[in-house]
Amino acid sequence: MTMCARAEDQFVMLQDRLQYRFADPDLLRQALVHRSWLNEAAGAGQVSNERLEFIGDAILGSVVARRLFQDFPEADEGWLTVARSRLVRKETLAAVARAVEIGPCLLMGAGIANEGARERDSVLSRSLEAVFGAIWMDGGDEAAETVILALLADELADIAAAGLVKDAKSRLQQLVQSQRGSQPTYAIIGECGPQHERSFRAAVEVDGNALAEGVGHSKQAAEMEAARLALQRFAEEST
């Protein structure tokens, strides 16, 4: 098998790991071109992945900010900023890039490659951003959002599980305990939509009495929305 053939196989397998098939595979190739490669590449017209990295960074930030805003309706600006930083930081992106094995696919100069550049967090994180930019160029907003959220799913779940927000669920629990001596309970009563854009409906009740229902892109977000609406109901009934 020739080197060219091996490179083609790598590009195909990388698309499988990304779960995205490029209509224009040249965009993926460009996303994998480290600037050191330009000194060794034959032929004119070669460009590095830096422009794609620029747009990929912007797309990533937008997708993450929107998802956090939707999933954590009770979070304030400070918490949202910290959570976003955790998701888009160099270390997080490098770990994702290693998981999908971007490093071996990078086109880079032999010298810097021999120095271990394929495993550097800075190189991997920037290359992943370039891949996001390439997907956006190839398939638009929806394609980029689908891939980004799928690759960051574990990190998003960790943030949700950490319970870092003093959210409506906590406030509702305190209110119900103080007023009724009970605790609210939640149930997911419906879900719909494609896998990458799932929507959940949650219901909250106290002592068997329904208080409110909420919808969100995760089960936790749906429960928080239900709690928020229940708090709103309590406030309206007390006026």
Same domain, 111 and 199: no
Q: Which residue has the tokens 């224009």?
A: 24
The answer to whether residue 50 scores a pLDDT higher than 90 is yes
DSSP 120: -
So what's the pLDDT on residue 27? 96
Task: Find, among 169, 135, 124, the residue nearest to 56 by Cα.
Answer: 135
Same domain, 110 and 218: no
The answer to whether residue 167 scores a pLDDT higher than 50 is yes
Q: Model confidence over 38-47: pLDDT tens digits?
A: 877 665 567 8
129, 155, 213, 225: which is the annotated catalytic residue? 129
| Domain final residue, candidates 162, 187, 213 | 162
Same domain, 126 and 230: no
Same domain, 86 and 200: no
Same domain, 207 and 144: no
Q: Model confidence over 138-155: pLDDT tens digits?
A: 999 999 999 999 999 999
Number of neighbours of residue 188 by Cβ within 10 angstroms: 12
Identify the top-confidence range among 44-48, 126-130, 179-183, 206-210: 126-130
Distance CA(131)–CA(138), nearest Å, equals 10
Same domain, 186 and 218: yes
So what's the pLDDT on residue 157? 87
Same domain, 75 and 12: yes
Residues 6+ apart with CB under 8 A from 14: 28, 100, 101, 102, 105
- Residue 129 is a catalytic residue: yes
DSSP 191: E
So what's the pLDDT on residue 217? 85
So what's the pLDDT on residue 160? 79
Tokens for 18? 């990304």
Under the banding of pLDDT at 50, 70 and 90, the label for residue 4 is very low
Same domain, 114 and 40: yes
- Residue 158 is a catalytic residue: no
* Mean predicted lDDT score pLDDT of the chain: 87
Domain extent for 175: 168-237
At residue 79, the 3 state secondary structure works out as helix
| Domain final residue, candidates 162, 179, 209 | 162
What is the torsion angle, in degrees rounded to the nearest 10, for the CA atoms of residue 204, residue 219, residue 215 and residue 156? 140
57, 213, 223, 225: which is the annotated catalytic residue? 57
So what's the pLDDT on residue 130? 98
Q: Model confidence over 201-227: pLDDT tens digits?
A: 999 999 889 999 999 888 888 898 898
Q: Residue 204's domain is classified under what CATH number?
A: 3.30.160.20
Identify the top-confidence range among 56-65, 112-121, 197-206: 56-65
| Domain final residue, candidates 109, 138, 162 | 162
Same domain, 157 and 172: no
Same domain, 122 and 172: no
Same domain, 153 and 50: yes
Same domain, 181 and 134: no
| CA angle (180 as vertex; 177, 184 as ends), nearest 5 | 55
Q: Into how many domains does the chain fold?
A: 2
Q: Residue 93's domain is classified under what CATH number?
A: 1.10.1520.10
